[in-house]
Amino acid sequence: MTRTPKRVAAGFAIALAAGAIPIKIAAAQTSMTGVEQARVDSIRRPYTAADIEFMSGMIGHHSQAVKMAGWCTNGHNANKSLQIFCGRVAMAQTAEIGLMSAWLKDRNQPVPEPDPRGMKMMMGGSEMFMMMPGMLTEDQMKQLDAARGAEFDRLFLTYMIQHHKGAITMVEKLENSPGADQDEIVFKFSNDVQADQSTEIDRMQQMLDALPPH
């Protein structure tokens, strides 16, 4: 919780009078921004294995969406409205990858490298990738990359709706995990994912319905 100036001042005066804390520590607390204080407070709050799994898995999930969105403006002849939509998706999800990586780092957890193939794992000395719900298979990604024009638009919208629905499934799994989704950052992020991607699914379905028939 962000402290009000009156509360900070009162706490500062009491601490000095009691000799409880050095002056420079009190000064550092009063100079801390609201965002920094919220981050510190969040680290103190309990988090679970389900929270870590969600934040780790969503990095790969978002990474694939960013790669797909990048193809909209990279030689696939997507229509203009889809290009604008993809630009927004890529920007928002790139920023969220940064948020998830910072959350894991702050809690001394491994930070997965963003990879559109999923979350990298080592099994029996071999490198494998665990795909999250809704993620495209390697063949689906190749099919999308090979498409152009209206066919690309149709495939992109179909596959990204699938992808977004998978993200919502991940949020629902988190919410149903005992004790999870209580951390302030995880709670806000998971709610944003559910709300934003539900809205985007509706928008993409409208765009898909407006495309000319095969």
Q: Is residue 74 part of a domain?
A: yes
174 alpha-carbon distance from chain centroid = 13
How far apart, in whole angstroms, are the C-alpha atoms of residue 37 and residue 162?
Answer: 37
Mean pLDDT, residues 24-29: 43
| 130, part of any domain | yes
Q: Is residue 200 part of a domain?
A: yes
For the chain, how many residues are written? 214
How far apart (Å, rounded) are the C-alpha atoms in residues 185 and 84?
Answer: 28
Task: Confirm whether 82 is domain-assigned.
Answer: yes
pLDDT in tens, 49-104: 999 999 999 999 999 999 999 999 888 999 999 999 999 999 999 999 999 999 99
| C-alpha to C-alpha distance for 8 and 13, rounded to whole angstroms | 9
pLDDT in tens, 31-43: 667 767 666 665 6
In this structure, is the dihedral angle defined by the CA atoms of residues 45, 50, 54 and 56, taken in order, positive or negative? positive
Assess if residue 111 is contained within a domain: yes
Scored b (16 or more CB within 10 A) or e, 112-141 reads: bebebbbbeeeeeeeeeeebbbbbbeeebb
Residue 172 forms part of a structural domain: yes
Q: Retrieve residue 61's tokens.
A: 């999930």
- Domain total of the chain: 1
Q: Flag whether 21 is in a domain.
A: no
Q: For 108-144, write each residue's pLDDT tens digit.
A: 999 999 999 888 776 777 777 889 999 999 999 999 9
Coil, strand, or helix at residue 13? Answer: helix
Q: Rounded mean pLDDT of 158-182?
A: 97
Rounded-to-integer distance, Cα 142 and Cα 60, Å: 18
Q: How far is CA 96 from CA 17, 56, 91, 127, 164, in A?
A: 44, 12, 9, 26, 15
3-class DSSP state for residue 126?
strand
Q: Which domain holds residue 89?
A: 47-210
CATH no. for residue 173? 1.20.1260.10
Within a domain: residue 127? yes
